[in-house]
């Protein structure tokens, strides 16, 4: 049987790295992409059937080059996993424009560029699968998440819309919606924008950031997301959405069952607002 190949963006750490190892251990070829210095990643480079290559989702040429390298090395790519992400949280009033733009350039434009770049390969083969890492934050929101949630809501919308046209060429697109995950996202990919000089917000910010600390300590292991990606890649269905993590399952279900006023009041009470 010919080995299948998955290309994963954002393999420097966290979900991407765990998923790369998960698929490699189960006999897949893996194109594990990192934003810089792929030669220096001793762990991934030591694995059989893994090609470590550079991919910066904010640069189209970098995306094209990584996809071409994967196809040349393994002969084909069967699955694209858009995992690379960036999170900008904080007060909108305290957020500079360049961080607003970066939030959407990484999470939204970067995802669209990667999908656009792989589509000629999939279209010529008449098959292929794209899996986009969204978040429970693409279905619900938390305070201070104006930029991040906006970007993940966009990923949800564009993926669902894209599913129609891709079905016409034999390509499937899916979404993974993780809850809180124990990774270093908070230290490497999360950017907090606050300004103590905006004193009117201080009590609110203190309450919300305190609650975030509690939530972060309850995160799931990233292998839960890797396992969910595996299910999505191998179940042979056109199921669109997959929830990863019990917290995400409970929170998304509660949101679906409540009206807007009910849910917002419930969330504020949980955060002590």
Catalytic residues: 134, 148, 152
Q: What is the chain's length?
A: 273
C-alpha to C-alpha distance for 111 and 117, rounded to whole angstroms: 10
C-alpha to C-alpha distance for 230 and 19, rounded to whole angstroms: 8
C-alpha to C-alpha distance for 56 and 40, rounded to whole angstroms: 16
Torsion over CA: 194, 198, 202, 204 (sign): negative
| H/E element, 147 | helix 146-167
Residue 160 CB partners (closer than 8 Å, separation 6+): 175, 240
Residue whose token pair is 């839960």: 224
Residue 81 token pair: 């996993």
Query: CB-based burial of residue 223 (10 Å sphere; 0-12 exposed, 13-18 middle, 19+ buried)?
Result: middle
Cα-based torsion angle of the residue sequence 57, 70, 156, 233 in order, rounded to the nearest 10 degrees: -150
Residue 65 token pair: 């080059």
Measured in degrees and rounded to the nearest 5, phi and psi for residue 183 equal -135, 180
Question: Which among 26, 1, 120 has a CA at the least distance from the CA of 71?
Answer: 120
Residue 49 token pair: 């059937």
Residue 231 token pair: 């299910």
């Amino acid at each position: 049987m010919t080995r299948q190949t998955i290309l994963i963006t954002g393999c420097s750490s966290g979900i991407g790295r765990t998923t790369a190892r998960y698929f490699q251990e189960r006999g897949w070829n893996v194109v594990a992409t990192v934003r810089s210095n792929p030669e220096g990643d001793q762990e991934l480079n030591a694995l059989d059937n893994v090609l470590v290559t550079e991919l910066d989702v904010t640069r189209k040429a970098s995306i094209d080059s990584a996809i071409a390298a994967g196809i040349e090395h393994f002969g084909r790519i069967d699955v694209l996993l858009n995992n690379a992400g960036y999170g900008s949280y904080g007060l909108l009033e305290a957020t500079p424009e360049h961080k607003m733009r970066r939030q959407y350039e990484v999470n939204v434009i970067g995802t669209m560029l990667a999908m656009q770049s792989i589509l000629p390969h999939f279209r010529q083969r008449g098959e292929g699968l794209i899996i986009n890492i969204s978040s429970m934050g693409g279905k619900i929101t938390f305070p201070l998440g104006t930029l991040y949630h906006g970007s993940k809501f966009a990923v949800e919308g564009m993926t669902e819309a894209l599913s129609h046209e891709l079905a016409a060429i034999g390509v499937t697109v899916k979404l993974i919606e993780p809850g809180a995950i124990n990774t270093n996202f908070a230290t490497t990919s999360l950017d907090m924008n606050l300004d103590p000089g905006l004193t009117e917000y201080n009590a609110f910010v203190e309450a919300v950031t305190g609650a975030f600390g509690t939530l972060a300590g309850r995160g799931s292991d990233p292998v839960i997301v890797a396992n969910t990606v595996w299910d999505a890649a191998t179940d042979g269905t056109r199921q669109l959405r997959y929830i990863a993590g019990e917290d995400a399952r409970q929170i998304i279900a509660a949101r679906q069952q409540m009206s807007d006023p009910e849910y917002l009041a419930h969330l504020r009470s949980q955060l002590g607002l």
